[in-house]
Structure 1
Amino acid sequence: MSEATVEGSGVSVEPVSRPIRLKEAREAAGLHIAALAAALKVPVKKLEALEAGRYGELPDLTFARALASSACRQLKVDPAPILQQIPLSASPKLGDHRHSLNAPFNPGRDEEPINPLSWLSRPALLAAIALLLGALVIVFLPRAESPPAVASVAEPAMAEPVVVAEPVAAQEPAGAAVQEGVMPAGTDAASPAVAPATAAVAAVPAEAAPSVAVAVATPTTPAVAASAGGLLSIAATGESWVEVINGSGNVVAKRLLQAGDVIDFSAAPPYSVVLGKADAAEVSVRGKPFDTAPFSRSNVARFEVK
């Protein structure tokens, strides 16, 4: 057994030994080193480096001990004495261990004081602040869309009952809260179903006649203007529907309108009007045309007449 110690400037390595017994066991078995290398499937140079103790030519000491164990199994000898001749590890020691490594560190430049305002000049921080402000504006900005406005008209001193004019073929359902007057244009023929309604209108006492205004509508040309004393008039130019509620919360009229239908309201206001398909109806208030477009939403107009 031979030992060697290698010392350099500042670097020392533990004594290194070589496995002499491995070479003696191979020679005792009469096996050439090339034949043993071929049996172990390793290069001959690695096996020669192992027998000579040149561990620097091997990957590491773990590989050297594994190669020695394989060679002992091939030679059928006890590997323990041979492995004792191979060091477990070779841990180099850098520098003189007598000197401590806890030396003060010199950064090479003086530390500058941290200025909080310098962070605000960074582009990334400015972009983050801008995004945050934009999100707050979007969240808390009031919605531009407002509910439909409500039309308000001054209340008149006097009011008259409601009068509804329809084409000859139209019929009002029973129990309606408005009175209807039907006058055929240029014809004397009337169906049996209309005759009782005509008789009921004729039976109204004479003293009530001044308070009732009858509007005439023809199927071809709808009436646009209301009577002289009419408060609200709705004339349908196409298929539409209307719902009128008085100031007491009662439904005065709720019906479908066909082209040519005209409804007049002359009773005491106010009226809350909901007009469906507003583009298919013409509205007049106190004889003047009333534009429902500013009060329409999804072609449904909601307004009040006071």
Structure 2
Amino acid sequence: MNEQTKKTESSPNAAVTLGILLSQARKQKGLSVGEVAERLKLPARQIEAMESGSYKGLPEAVFIKGFLSSYARLLEVDEKELKQYFQQIFPAASHLSTSDSNKVVSADLDFKGKPQRRHFPRWLIVVLVVILISAVVYAWQTKSTSENARQTATAGQEVSVQTASISDIAASNIRVVPMTDNEHTGSQPVTEVTAASQSASTSNTTDTQVSQPAVSASDTLVIKLENRSWLQVSDKNGKVLISQVVDAGSTHQFSGAAPYKVILGYTPGASIRFAGKDIAIEQNKKRTAAMTVGGN
């Protein structure tokens, strides 16, 4: 039996002996196969294969030497003794030093010695998706809130212009429109109900007829508004006849209590007639007006 045959026969025995050595060292440290596998980031099958000395199914020799070196360092096995076992187990690769085999990082290899793929954590993907959805919802809600606020502010400005109070209207805007000589004669308020009256000129007939409303236009005030506006009208006694925001296209008529104090919150499109005559409405930057109609 030559020297080469002795080396071939001794190689399996050396692998088994090294496996027994590693197994005993592991048990002395109180470690289980699972704990060693977790620390070395290797499958438990590879740990058992190294302790049994059977390297079938393991990757190439250079990787096996790397696994054994990592295992020996974990168990604090003497490096010189480990090198002697390597020379017996891997005679064809004995020229490779143990330090060269230590360059193999076992954590980056799988059971077949192939580099492991680093998978992106799924939980991180879920977190990113949730954050993205939350950001989209927040942006949508913020946009909706700002749009509603803008529309509310615009509507508020329009109403505030129309509902200008008496104190906001300059005294210079107040104008007195005098009554004519015929306008001093008081008349009854406008009535919408017609009455049947007998003819006084024909005493010998019993026929009756329906008369037109007995309304005097001598001091009738008519205000027409094309736009929604604030309107306040007070009579000669200071009684407020109307004080509110009125709709666009509305007409308001008053009689029998001249002179009137009229306040308009929005003058564009407004017209005033008194005693059948148009009353000029002075325009200003505020688009408001205050005047006395029918005064002396």
Query: Normalised by the size of structure 1, how large is the TM-score?
Result: 0.31
Query: Normalised by the size of structure 2, how large is the TM-score?
Result: 0.31
